[in-house]
Structure 1
């Protein structure tokens, strides 16, 4: 017999019933000015905004690095690789926009300041001029981004499911970028 077909009373006992926290629902009414930040996540909002601003800086540095590499790539395979660099730059810019929007939803301010951008970023900027070095630098940056997003996802976990889903979506793209760059490097 399938457990889903059993009446709830016949299923394994639960430690607590699945019920909404009505007191938390009432507190939401009292703090409408907080927008997306609810009382359950508010203790974490500032930390989440700080994490997201670090990710935003990383995405901005990646956009700059990819664009430089796009415009300075030379050699026999350069046109195809440069085109891929621009695709990645545009996707990283989209990530930056999504992160900035979430920061604002959480009541924070996205930090687009060029001052200290590299210090806030998890990835480095690179001014390499040969194609293999460009590919290696971008692959390293993507691997750093993958690890950073995995750690942020673990930190946010159940504290902010919306931010977690956003980070998971971006992680999928970063893993794809790393796979593509590794494949180009093998050519």
Structure 2
């Protein structure tokens, strides 16, 4: 294998140098695994399990927001119902990202309706009062924020791509929580 390191300067030695042999070995073994290299395999199943629980949470959130969108009533309901639908669509986008990542990791996204509620970190809600709906969604968003923070911490450097995806979703969930807090204060 050709050594493609940059030429060293005469006045100092490079201390950060990639191991070309390890690169070649990782690149050529288990080609059927796509982007998942052998060093990653140790944590893959645990990460897929975390992601499937996050997928369930996002799907339950979509269902809760859609129910609230269609059943909200009262003077403030049109604007709040509209916000619920925006959040439902964003949660659906998160679910799609998570499912896509599970597949990239060689897993299968679990969309099984029978187990969604049991695997979800957040609850479904059937409130009929507008303020109770907002409160239930705020609680769910705060649960999601904490769940994503914990997942990011657990994953750390074990899977930087998944961590970055979760950090992006976390930012959206924090924004949702702030928006719902503002609605609750109105």
TM-score higher than 0.5 = yes
SS at match of 1:40: helix
**Following the alignment from structure 1 to structure 2, what is the Cα–Cα distance between the partners of residues 101 and 21?**
30
Alignment of structure 1 residues 41-60 onto 2, 5 Å = 41-60=40-59
> Size of the alignment, in residue pairs?
176
Please, what TM-score do these two structures have when normalized by structure 1? Answer: 0.91
**Following the alignment from structure 1 to structure 2, what is the Cα–Cα distance between the partners of residues 150 and 100?**
19
Give the CA deviation at 1:20: 1.6
Partner of 1:125: 124
Give the CA deviation at 1:71: 0.2
1:181–1:9 Cα change, 3 Å: same
**Alpha-carbon RMSD:** 1.5
SS at match of 2:158: coil
Unaligned runs of 5+ in 1: 1-6, 11-15
Residue 70, structure 1, aligned to residue 69, structure 2: yes
Unaligned runs of 5+ in 2: 1-9
Deviates more, 1:16-25 or 1:117-126: 16-25
Partner of 1:161: 160
Deviations 1:109-164 (A, max 9, x none): 00000011111100000000000000000000000000000000011110000000
Please, what TM-score do these two structures have when normalized by structure 2? Answer: 0.91
